[in-house]
Structure 1
Amino acid sequence: MIFFQKRQEGRAPEAPTTDLDQLAARADAAPLPPHAREAALRELARLRKTDPSVAEYSVGMGYLDFLLGLPWSAATQDRLDLKAASRILDARHHGLGQVKERVLEHLASRVLRQATEFHILVVDDEDIARANLEHVLKKEGYRVRGAANGLEALEEVRRWEFDLIVTDLKMEKMDGMQLLAEARRLSPSTQVMMVTGFATVDTAVQAMRQGAVYYLAKPVNLDELRSTVAGLAREKTRPAVFRSPVLCFAGPPGTGKTSVGQAIAEALGRKFHRMSLAGLRDEAELRGHRRTYVGALPGRVLQSVNRLGVRNPVFMLDELDKIGKDFRGDPAAVFLEMLDPEQNTQFVDNYLEASFDLSQTLFIATVNDVEELSGPLLDRLEVVPFQGYTTGEKVRIALGHLAPRQLRENGLTHPYPEFTPGAVAAVVEGYTREAGVRNLDRELGRACRKLALLRLEGGAGAGALTVDEAMVPALLGPARHVREAAGGAPRVGVATGLVYAGHGGEIIFVEAIRMKGTGEITLTGSLGEVLRESARTALSLVRSRAGELGIDPAAFLEEDLHVHIPAGSVPKEGSSAGLTLALALASLYTGRPLRRDVAMTGEITLSGDVLPVGGIREKLLAAARAGAARVILPEGNRPHVAALAGDETTGVEVAFVKTVQEALGLAGA
């Protein structure tokens, strides 16, 4: 027994450390905001009184571990270099000129907002004193301007925003106290420091009560001045809250919305996270579950922030328009708080039960159809439209990015086969029908896998290193899409129109015939209600102008009318075919043929005016692709055409009209 006691006395004492003690140490060391520290200490106190064997103990431990692991203050430093950002966007994406410009504008505002220069206005009616203070502060690296009195200072404040005003108290025309009050009214964020040779306790107290941040007596202690201004300048460098709208990339699939978001994160030097929201129906997935049962979890938003380890990532909300809604709540309503800069500084997760600041997070949303978003949510977003690529842009994207990647992924590297521009253009025109390049990438992958099979089998074409246009059908089979062509002899009752679909612009032919009957109208071609109304409007317009056009009014009562748009299995809807319908009917009843190589778009009124429509870029590209010689557009779309690059209208004459009568003169043979 004595021997056992000696052995125990000889061992070094080991204080057991429990998991709860470790969490308490983490809570003491973590840089938590006051409200989060209070929540952590409150939970610790509760757990110390809880039996570790009960389920609530493990729930509380998990809660503390999550709370302490959140990046309450950790953030990455933004790399605000616009030239580097422009190079990254150009390297990642071909085209998208307007999108890149909008993104760079957004980044430019952040550069100016986070400018580290500290602007100071020195106000003193003594020239020597003012010059000395300006000299001292300029040597410290600050941007300094001077004013000889309070009135001059107010003029400067109206023209510039200053971070700090260093002003004398006793001056002619306007003293320092009056300047303090007026400057705070004009620029509430500007701080004011008083300097005077008549320092008293009363004047110091009065100045501080009116909003002065510091009070210095003359002669000025320069060390005290330097340290005070340096402290105020450090406060400015803290991360600022940006109240600019959240970017929302809207456009068809495959146009590069997600990858542009990744490029923004790379340009800023921030971490990137993409959250897919398609099919999300439960609000608790975003806002978290309340800790009322063992399986409670935080929301996906704070889980992602916790996993990234920083409070200011680039957070992409992908497919925001695909969120579902049912009895469990409306998940989209969570974003009303999350994306609003007035509210997201105090975002509350149901699991955390303590507000977390999301104001430093850069949110980017992507949608395919803006119309699917609710009004309040759309009001918080700045929509950046993504338009479809031209055939030339798709060819350059494929040759520069898609084809090399597909060749590497399919093992075709020793040596690389080469796709010619003609081969890629054949794939674009005959095998894809889209605004983006997702299906093009898929078809190039199919071609590469076929080449890989041929290379292994050593069959015909195995040694071919150049894939030209003639080889495309052998690799991908017969073309699946045949585009309409604008051309041929002029015809009566047939007009060439331009429409915008989800995959880009297309041309359509509106055909109209008449036959003996009782004045009935038949509309076929899977037309939507808006198109049917446009057809009736066009017919009423032609009937009202029967005398002017030389049409026998009895024809509308004694003959039936049939209007058809081919490809009847494809649903058609929109408000841009009114002009095409009106000209087809006018041609039918007047017997005047219309040129097949003249395409048109626009909506009409009963008085014959032509109204502007959307999708002009895509429609012009479709007209050029189909071989149209002239395109008739509403006069209201002239600014949209002027804003386009030159390649959209190459080889196509664009004519603008205000009335249907003008369009009839331009389209007639």
Structure 2
Amino acid sequence: MGFFSGPGDDERESMKPRSELDDLQKAILEAAMPQEVEKVALDELTRLSKADTSSAEYTIGVNYLGYLKGLPWHSETVDNLDMRRAATILDDEHHGLDDVKERILEHLAVKILKLSRKPAILVVDDDKTARRNLAHVLGKEGYEVQLAAGGAEALALLSAKTFDVLVTDLKMDKVDGLQVVEKAVAVSPDIGVIMVTGYATPPAAVEAITRGAFHFLAKPLQLDLLRKTIKDLLLKKTANLGSRGPLLCFVGPPGTGKTSLQRSIAKSLGRKFIRISLAGVKDEAEIRGHRRSYVGALPGRIIQEINRAGSKNPVIMLDEIDKLDHEGRGNTAAALLEVLDHSQNHHFLDHYLDVPFDLSWVIFIATANSTANIPAPLLDRLEILSLPGYTEEEKEVIAVKHLVPREVDEAGLAGHPLEFTKEAIEKIIRDHTREAGLRNLQRQIAAICRKIARKVLADQNGVGGDYMVITPEKVDELLGPRKFYFDLAAVREQVGVVTGLAWTESGGQIMFLEATIMKGKENLLLTGSLGEVMKESAQAALSYIRSNAARFQVADDFFLGHDIHIHLPAGAIPKDGPSAGLAIALALLSLLTNRAARKDVALSGELTLSGRLLPVGGVREKVMAARRAGIKKVIFPSLNEPDLLELPPEIKRDLQIFCAATVEEIVEHVLR
């Protein structure tokens, strides 16, 4: 009857899981997994063959095996080792950032030299014929081969030179192969050792491998097996060579090119690029994966992305490493340490896979906006490369060469003669953006292009309106009135008002520090949304002047029966840091000596109670802000001289820079 299945239907139903498992077995064997991984996969397959196909356990197992067979265990991209090409790509895609690009090229150069070096092999055998035959065979493979007639000669060579592989006989007079292996491993722990002998007994093999041998081969040698063993050994060693070295971390404000630089590194090497955002990650399972016993378990983000890329040697960008959530489940920073540690990541154990996966082929590069929130153990493994903000001149060049062409094309205007004048770009930068990077500049240019695209469609005469040339007037018309105002140098000089320099995430800026005195109860009043550190700086400045009143020709009792009020305008903006201490002291001296402060001088420095000046940060941004504001002279502590010497000439143009170690050296430069 039609309501019941016949025997043929039952057979077909029973064949489905069997066929599925057969396909999985075939795929596992074709995937060329590492031997230990293949064993785990086949054991799991055997277990599934006995499981109920309708159970959740069966589905979980099939999905697991599907993931294992799909991982790129041996799939990789071939590195492009052309240094000139790498330099050209970096220069074409990034304007400025010369120090950062130079460090990246150094990083790549070390990797390229390590990866392109001809492997050196030391062959040790007291049989002259065997030595010569091995030298001939290995030399034809492109290896640099050196020979030793015995253990004593081998020990001398190992002390004088570094070798990648040691091929040594076991039984030799005076110094045998085991002693040679011990010496080789002691001198160079990374050396690969292959022991060859005519006495291939299990105890001898165990002892050789215990002493540090990678493989144990019996005589007479099978040359194909020897070639394969050396190749496998060097392959593993190459991964370690290519990945070792400092882990770079690009630190800088948003929009300064951290991501695009990493894309360029991947492009120059010919590797695939992967971006993994760590912002807000609070569960270590995001890194290490979930165990398969959990419903909906998946590998960690790193294994997932490598699987998606289909390559075991991509460039992985660990974005916003400073924004890891430290209050979640597990320790995400500790999980990252295992990923980034060269001594551990060649056997990275994802909880879902539960078998080791080699991450040593991957180039990891991190990014952060600040190092302040990066855990100390993680920070210790990173080499910090700072990406400072761009100057106005650099922004103009980047806008003309990169941003305008890109946004014109994005807006569908590639076939239209849209032109931005130099003055228009300057106006966008100064009046409609305030940032260290380029993100908002790109948005404003994109907004103008979109508005022009609409005008082009609305223009019944086709292309040809005067709106196709973007002038400063057109910028105001399209973007509206200016949104940002940068403080300029004071119009007139005043007593008690000094120009300081500040650093913010959007770059540097000048700030005015105002001081006044009135009758009162000897209080120091501080206003302007000041943080605790800045308040302490003001207290220290006042105490320094009170204790040195005679030196500055100030009345000893100036504070008696008076209050002093120090104010920093823009009270809605929080301000903190020690670098205002010097400016506060000069504002007080200006007030108490009734000498006006020069309007074209700006200063920054931390002041101690003894009058010494300590170095400050953000020197580049502060100098840029002073130049933009029309300041003629900037003053910094002497300890900041190295920072000032590193600044490019265009940033210091039209500026006089003065460095001092104490307050006394500065007074005549600031006060009339």
TM-score range for the pair, normalised by the shorter chain length: 0.7 to 0.9
Q: Specify the alignment match of 1:411 in structure 2.
A: 412
* In 1, Cα distance between equivalents of 2:181 and 2:301: 48
Letter in 2 for 1:403: V
* In 2, Cα distance between equivalents of 1:455 and 1:281: 49
* In 1, Cα distance between equivalents of 2:349 and 2:182: 38
Letter in 1 for 2:88: R
Task: Mark the CA change 1:149 to 1:639 in structure 2 (over 3 Å): closer, same or farther.
Answer: farther
The SS at the match of 1:478 is coil
Task: Mark the CA change 1:320 to 1:172 in structure 2 (over 3 Å): closer, same or farther.
Answer: closer
The SS at the match of 1:316 is strand
Matched, 1:396 2:394: no
Structure 2 residue aligned with 1:553, among 543, 553, 556?
A: 556
Does structure 1 retain, via aligned residues, the 8 Å contact 2:192–2:233? no
Matched, 1:29 2:47: no
Deviation, 1:142, is 4.7
Task: Mark the CA change 1:590 to 1:79 in structure 2 (over 3 Å): closer, same or farther.
Answer: same
TM alignment of 1:641-656, pairs within 5 A: 641-656=644-659
Matched, 1:602 2:601: no
Letter in 2 for 1:618: E
Q: Specify the alignment match of 1:321 in structure 2.
A: 322
Deviation, 1:106, is 1.8
Structure 1 residue aligned with 2:473, among 458, 470, 473?
A: 470
Deviation, 1:443, is 0.8
Q: Specify the alignment match of 2:87 in structure 1.
A: 86
* In 1, Cα distance between equivalents of 2:527 and 2:391: 31
* In 1, Cα distance between equivalents of 2:285 and 2:183: 49
Q: Specify the alignment match of 1:528 in structure 2.
A: 531
Matched, 1:569 2:572: yes
Unaligned runs of 5+ in 1: 1-7, 9-13
Q: Deviations over 1:305-352 (max 9, x none)?
A: 211112221111222222334454443442122222232223222222
* In 2, Cα distance between equivalents of 1:581 and 1:631: 15
* In 1, Cα distance between equivalents of 2:633 and 2:499: 11
* In 1, Cα distance between equivalents of 2:471 and 2:156: 70
Q: Specify the alignment match of 1:370 in structure 2.
A: 371
Root mean square deviation of aligned Cα: 3.9
Q: Deviations over 1:411-467 (max 9, x none)?
A: 223322111222111111111111100000011111122222333344999333322
Deviation, 1:143, is 4.6
The SS at the match of 2:569 is coil
TM alignment of 1:431-510, pairs within 5 A: 431-458=432-459, 462-510=465-513
* In 2, Cα distance between equivalents of 1:657 and 1:186: 51
Deviation, 1:509, is 1.0
Letter in 1 for 2:398: I
Task: Mark the CA change 1:276 to 1:558 in structure 2 (over 3 Å): closer, same or farther.
Answer: same
The SS at the match of 2:572 is coil
Matched, 1:668 2:671: yes
Matched, 1:618 2:621: yes
TM alignment of 1:116-131, pairs within 5 A: 116-119=117-120
Q: Specify the alignment match of 1:518 in structure 2.
A: 521
Q: Deviations over 1:345-397 (max 9, x none)?
A: 23222222222222222222221122122222222322221111111111111
Letter in 1 for 2:423: G
Matched, 1:266 2:264: no
* In 2, Cα distance between equivalents of 1:392 and 1:587: 36
Task: Mark the CA change 1:124 to 1:354 in structure 2 (over 3 Å): closer, same or farther.
Answer: closer
The SS at the match of 1:662 is coil
Does structure 1 retain, via aligned residues, the 8 Å contact 2:76–2:312? yes
Deviation, 1:102, is 2.0
* In 2, Cα distance between equivalents of 1:605 and 1:448: 53
Task: Mark the CA change 1:346 to 1:228 in structure 2 (over 3 Å): closer, same or farther.
Answer: closer
Does structure 1 retain, via aligned residues, the 8 Å contact 2:135–2:147? yes
Q: Specify the alignment match of 2:97 in structure 1.
A: 96
Task: Mark the CA change 1:312 to 1:413 in structure 2 (over 3 Å): closer, same or farther.
Answer: closer
Letter in 2 for 1:93: H
* In 2, Cα distance between equivalents of 1:344 and 1:551: 66
Deviation, 1:181, is 6.3
**Normalized against structure 1, the TM-score is what?**
0.86
Letter in 1 for 2:656: E
Task: Mark the CA change 1:327 to 1:646 in structure 2 (over 3 Å): closer, same or farther.
Answer: closer
Letter in 1 for 2:308: R
Letter in 2 for 1:248: C
* In 1, Cα distance between equivalents of 2:167 and 2:366: 44
The SS at the match of 2:239 is coil
Task: Mark the CA change 1:548 to 1:259 in structure 2 (over 3 Å): closer, same or farther.
Answer: same
* In 2, Cα distance between equivalents of 1:347 and 1:170: 38
Does structure 2 retain, via aligned residues, the 8 Å contact 1:320–1:365? yes
Deviation, 1:604, is 1.1
Q: Specify the alignment match of 1:3 in structure 2.
A: none
* In 1, Cα distance between equivalents of 2:217 and 2:358: 34
Q: Specify the alignment match of 2:342 in structure 1.
A: 341
The SS at the match of 2:466 is coil
**Normalized against structure 2, the TM-score is what?**
0.86
Letter in 2 for 1:484: D
* In 2, Cα distance between equivalents of 1:243 and 1:457: 59
Deviation, 1:65, is 1.0
* In 1, Cα distance between equivalents of 2:233 and 2:459: 70
Structure 1, 63-72 or 541-550: larger mean CA deviation: 63-72
* In 2, Cα distance between equivalents of 1:168 and 1:22: 45
Deviation, 1:628, is 1.2
Deviation, 1:540, is 0.6
The SS at the match of 1:384 is strand
The SS at the match of 1:262 is helix
* In 1, Cα distance between equivalents of 2:305 and 2:556: 70
Task: Mark the CA change 1:275 to 1:611 in structure 2 (over 3 Å): closer, same or farther.
Answer: same
The SS at the match of 2:397 is helix
Deviation, 1:97, is 1.5
Structure 2 residue aligned with 1:583, among 577, 582, 586?
A: 586
Q: Specify the alignment match of 1:5 in structure 2.
A: none
Q: Specify the alignment match of 1:236 in structure 2.
A: 234
Q: Specify the alignment match of 1:383 in structure 2.
A: 384
Q: Specify the alignment match of 1:303 in structure 2.
A: 304
Task: Mark the CA change 1:556 to 1:456 in structure 2 (over 3 Å): closer, same or farther.
Answer: same
